[in-house]
Amino acid sequence: MSRTAKGMSWIKGLALGALVVGAGLGVAAAQSNSIVFTSWGGTTQDAQKKDWAAPFTKKTGIAVKQDGPTDYGKLKAMVESGNVSWDVVDVDGDFAAAAAKDGLLEPIDFNIVKRADLDPRFVTDHAVGSFYYSFVLGFNPASFGEKAPKSWADVFDTKTFPGKRTFYKWSTPGVLEIALLADGVPADKLYPLDLDRAFKKLDTIKKDIVWWGTGAQSQQLLASGEAPIGQFWNGRLFALEQGGTKVGISWEQNLTAADMLVVPKGSKNKEAAMKFLAEATSAEGQASFATDSGYAPINVKSAALMPKDLAASLPDRHTASQINLDMAYWAAHRDEIGKRWYAWQAQ
C-alpha cells in the first residue's frame, strides 16, 4: 500500500473543496492524447507508472500524466464543479463505495475491462481493484535489539518497546481497529466499532504518536528511527527491504483491504480511462506491479506469472489470523467517525 496522503476524510475534504476549485489546483485538464492518473506517490506510484502507464502508452500512444497524492476533497470538488482534470484515481475501498452511491463516478465499461478475470471481492459496477494490501506491524530492529514486537498490543506497550509510534493520520479503516485489537477485542467482534473504547485506548499513547499521511512518509519515519514501530502498508515495508533497509514485520492480525481504481464523473477522456483500467487490471499489469510493490494482485490469472519467491511477502499468504476490514461499515459511517477522529486529533 495505500502510498497513499491516503484516506483524507470527506470532512476535511469538504473544507478544501471551494479552495480547490477556486485556486485551480492539480494538473491541467488532460487533452485527447493524454490522461491524468492520480495516486499516492512514492514507490507505489513509481511502480504503477512503470507497470501500467508505460505499457499503456506504448500500446495506445496515449500519454499518462501523473498527479498526486489522491485527495478526496479535490475529487469531489472537481465533479461538483464540472471541472474534472483527473481521469483515473486510486482510492480507498470505502470511498469508492460511497462515491458511487453519491454519483461521483463513471460506471466501468466492462466491454473494455475484463471483469471475469478479476477477484470478485475487488470489483463493482463503478470501481475495479488496484491492489490488495495489508496493514501490518512494522518496526526498526535496530531500535529494539533482541526484543521483537509481535502484536498490536505491543505497539501500545511503551515500557517494553519505548519510542514514538506511527499511525496513519486520516480517518480510514485501520487505526481504530488496531486500538480495539490491542485492547483485547476479538477479531470477530470488531464491528460495529466501539468508538469510545478505541479512543480511550489511543489516549494511552497519544503523546507518543507521530502521524504519517503518505506511504513515503511512513517509510522515512521507520527507516530513520524517528518512529521505530507502528502501522504500515505491507508494500511499503517490502520496498524498504528491497532497498536494503532492515525491517521487522509481524503479520499477526494483519488487516486487509484493496485500493480501487475509479474514473471521476465527467472525465474528459472516459474511453481512454477505461482502456487504462484494462491495462492496469490485466494479468500482466497486475503481476508486474505485485512483483515490484509487494502488494497482492486482484487479477486471478496474475499469480501464475509471478516469481515464486515473492509469495511469502504477499498478504494472501498470511491468512491464519488475517482480518478483513469492513468497507461497507466504513462507507456507511465514515462521516460521523471522521468528525470525531479529527476533533480528537486536534485536542
Q: What is the pLDDT of residues 111-144, one digit of tens each?
A: 999 999 999 889 999 999 999 899 999 999 999 9
Overall number of domains in the chain? 2
For residue 311, is pLDDT > 90? no
pLDDT at position 137 = 98
The domain of 160 spans 134-257
Q: Are residues 173 and 235 in the same domain?
A: yes
CA 36 from chain center: how many Å?
A: 19
Establish if 222 belongs to a structural domain: yes
Q: Are residues 236 and 202 in the same domain?
A: yes
Give every CB contact of residue 233 below 8 A, 6+ residues apart in sequence: 1, 2, 3, 4, 133, 134, 135, 136, 215, 218, 295
Establish if 335 belongs to a structural domain: no
Residue bearing the bigger pLDDT, 274 or 335? 274
Establish if 177 belongs to a structural domain: yes
Establish if 309 belongs to a structural domain: yes
Q: How far apart are the first and last CA of the chain?
A: 29
Q: Are residues 185 and 204 in the same domain?
A: yes
Q: Are residues 240 and 164 in the same domain?
A: yes
Q: Are residues 116 and 173 in the same domain?
A: no
Q: What is the dihedral of CA 229, 232, 234, 238, to 10 degrees?
A: -60
Q: Are residues 141 and 187 in the same domain?
A: yes
Establish if 96 belongs to a structural domain: yes
| DSSP state at residue 316 | G
pLDDT at position 186 = 98
Q: What is the dihedral of CA 195, 97, 215, 119, to 10 degrees?
A: 120
Establish if 250 belongs to a structural domain: yes
pTM equals 0.76
CATH of the domain at 189: 3.40.190.10
Residue bearing the bigger pLDDT, 51 or 12? 51
Which of 257, 289, 313 corresponds to the end of one domain? 257
Q: For cell 491464519, name the residue.
A: 320
Which of 231, 257, 283 corresponds to the end of one domain? 257
Q: Are residues 65 and 176 in the same domain?
A: no
Q: How far apart are CA 235 and CA 17, in angstroms?
A: 30
Q: Are residues 302 and 245 in the same domain?
A: no
Which of 257, 274, 308 corresponds to the end of one domain? 257
- Are 298 and 281 in contact by the 8 Å Cβ rule? The answer is yes
Q: Are residues 19 and 166 in the same domain?
A: no
Q: How far apart are CA 186 and CA 189, in angstroms?
A: 5
Q: Are residues 47 and 158 in the same domain?
A: no
Establish if 292 belongs to a structural domain: yes
Q: Are residues 203 and 244 in the same domain?
A: yes
pLDDT tens, position by position, 272-289: 999 999 999 999 999 999
Q: Are residues 20 and 100 in the same domain?
A: yes
Reported as type and span, the H/E element at residue 23 is: helix 10-23
